[in-house]
Structure 1
Amino acid sequence: MVAFLRLALRRVAMMPVMILGIALLVFVVLQFSPADPAYNALGESAGPEAREAFAEANGLNDPLPVRYFDFLGQLLHFDLGMTVPPSQPVIDRITAAFPLTLQLTFLGLFLAVTLAVIGGVLGAMYRDRWPDQLFRVLSMAGVAIPSFWLGVLLIQQFALNTRIFPTGGYTNPADSFSGWLTTMALPAVSLAVPVAASLARLVRTSMVAELDRDYVRTARGNGLPVFLVIRSVLRNALVTPLTVLGVKVGYLLSGAVVIEAIFDLPGMGKLILEGVTGGDVALVQGTVLTIAIAFLVVNVVVDLLYLLVNPRIRTV
């Protein structure tokens, strides 16, 4: 336990350094944006003098390091700036949109992990037989299908043709849980299928390796029920897929941004599109930074889970 706490504190202690690096990268990249904050804030009718006065008042003429440290100071106070007129605090826009993106991400993660475990276990148990061959074909197809293309196909089939699900929009779960599931079903499936296919291949490979070990043959030879054997094997087999789960969550977060645009969901994807099309640097900067930090936090959590399920690494 002491070794685990030491490694956990080491992971957590690195987070502020990584957040500073992320903030620096996001800030510097967006400084090269062709968008003019003064033009976006004041409009087309503003003359050069008004734009220059706006830039001077908002520190846009300061050297890059000065602006970066000002940005960090604002970040420490959870101040991400204001959107272009009509002006609103960026943090308020993110606070309203980010929960939806998290809902979609973790619903997609739940579906992906469930499908991956079921498919991987069945493929390993029926190794080299027709269920395993079917699993291989489906997993290869799932990996090859882009989530946005799958989303378009799902809309065509289940929203336009059969009208089982809506083409887009969002229902708050507090208003109607069934309505929330209906509006989130197709986006979540679009996100989950490519991740599930990739994870399922890892689960199958790990399960096959574990099923060939001596302790499995001994357990089955002693008449231990199959479900108990599979439960023990699965616990050991999931260690390897867990190592890539953090990266997959990052894929789901980034993919959710695109899927939200396809299904017209008012999440972070809509904010990014709004910021890019409207030249709103503060909005783009705030949303990208929030997603990057969320990805970092998720990876740290996955690392800690990996330490819990794999005691051998605690001695490293």
Structure 2
Amino acid sequence: MAAIARMLARRIVLLVPLLLGIVLFVFLVMRFANTDPTSAYFQGSNPTPEQLHEFREENGLLDPLPVRYVNFVGDLLRGDMGISVLNRGEVLDQVTTALPLTLQLTFMGLGIAVVLSLVFGVIAAVYRDRLPDQVIRVVSLIGVAAPGFWLALLMIQYLAVGAGWFPTSGYVNPADSFTGWLKTMTLPAFALSLPVAAQLTRIVRTSMVEELDKDYVRTATGSGLPPVVVVGRNVLRNALITPLTVLGLRVGYLLGGAVVIETIFALPGMGSLMITAVKNGDPAVVQGVVITVAVGFVVVNLLIDVLYLLVNPRLRGAA
């Protein structure tokens, strides 16, 4: 545990310049983008030049760019993401309202992807070059090629509209009805997770095949250990290193893919919040959503690094 604590401390220290770089990138992109908070604020009205100047001065839009960046970072450290120019509300309040749904969708999709990839990846490796392996490889290849939004539309057409098993859109809070929440989240979670599950299945299969060909597997099998014990206790654990690496990167895809999936299923999450802000020219909300998602991606990858050490004792020794 001491090795994990030391590695975690080093990574947290390194996260500081990384997060500052992310904030700087988002800040510069939003400042040089073709969006003007003043236009969004006075949308539908005919302000005087004095009103425009007063608004820009009150919101620091006339300050030099470095000063605006320092003030922006200082506001973030205090938990202030700015004010939405459309509804005059705190951006942080809007983000904290939308974030739980996006996290539910992301981690539900992540769980589905992990379970499917482990089950079918192990089956394909154990039955390699036989019928189950060939079927799983073909299906996983189709899954890799199929975009999530297309799968979402197919699910709505056949499982929601056609069969009537699930609602086509909307969201039910789990506190109000767990069954209703499960029905509204099932199709979005599967649409989000299936491409990731297909990729991970192929990687799990490859890693398992490499481990199954090693000498320790033949030795353990020859000593009389049941194949289930050898595969479950030794082979699978050693084969998880590469899939974990890819899983950390795929979390970013899940967070980004949630934007499209939430829009298709009319879920009031971070994706819908950002799409609305982009359409209405509300840069404070856009940068708040992007920074939140980027920080979440960095934190999840830090947790994946900790999982490396828990899965592989040799990495703990190296740490």
On the 8 A contact 2:86/2:282 being kept in 1, the answer is no
Q: What is the correspondence of 1:164-179 to structure 2 with a 5 Å cutoff?
A: 164-179=165-180
State the alpha-carbon separation in 2 of the partners of residues 107 and 2 from structure 1: 32
Amino acid at match of 1:287: V
State the alpha-carbon separation in 2 of the partners of residues 234 and 85 from structure 1: 52
Matched residue pairs, number? 316
Q: What is the SS of the residue equivalent to 2:174?
A: coil
Aligned to 2:40: 40
Amino acid at match of 1:207: M
Q: What is the correspondence of 1:268-279 to structure 2 with a 5 Å cutoff?
A: 268-279=270-281
Q: How far apart are residue 2 of structure 1 and its match?
A: 3.4
- Is 1:17 paired with 2:10? no
Amino acid at match of 2:184: T
Percentage of matched positions with identical amino acids: 57
- Given candidates 284, 302, 306, the residue that maps to 1:282 is 284
Aligned to 1:227: 228
Amino acid at match of 1:239: I
State the alpha-carbon separation in 2 of the partners of residues 86 and 45 from structure 1: 18
Amino acid at match of 1:180: W
On the 8 A contact 1:105/1:252 being kept in 2, the answer is yes
Amino acid at match of 1:14: L
Q: How far apart are residue 97 of structure 1 and its match?
A: 0.3
Amino acid at match of 1:34: N
State the alpha-carbon separation in 2 of the partners of residues 159 and 4 from structure 1: 46
The runs of 5 or more residues in structure 1 that have no matched partner are none
Q: What is the SS of the residue equivalent to 1:128?
A: coil
State the alpha-carbon separation in 1 of the partners of residues 38 and 8 from structure 2: 45
Q: What is the SS of the residue equivalent to 1:86?
A: coil
Alpha carbon RMSD of aligned pairs, Å? 1.1
State the alpha-carbon separation in 2 of the partners of residues 38 and 214 from structure 1: 68
Aligned to 1:112: 113
State the alpha-carbon separation in 2 of the partners of residues 9 and 257 from structure 1: 32
Aligned to 2:104: 103
Normalising by structure 1, we get a TM-score of: 0.97
- Is 1:91 paired with 2:86? no
Q: How far apart are residue 225 of structure 1 and its match?
A: 1.6
Q: How far apart are residue 257 of structure 1 and its match?
A: 1.1
Q: How far apart are residue 218 of structure 1 and its match?
A: 1.7
Q: How far apart are residue 57 of structure 1 and its match?
A: 1.6
Q: How far apart are residue 46 of structure 1 and its match?
A: 1.1
On the 8 A contact 1:39/1:46 being kept in 2, the answer is no
Aligned to 1:212: 213
Aligned to 1:201: 202
- Is 1:267 paired with 2:282? no
On the 8 A contact 1:160/1:167 being kept in 2, the answer is yes
Q: How far apart are residue 165 of structure 1 and its match?
A: 0.6
Aligned to 2:161: 160
The runs of 5 or more residues in structure 2 that have no matched partner are none
Q: What is the SS of the residue equivalent to 1:244?
A: helix
Q: How far apart are residue 53 of structure 1 and its match?
A: 1.4
Q: What is the SS of the residue equivalent to 2:220?
A: helix
On the 8 A contact 1:168/1:263 being kept in 2, the answer is yes
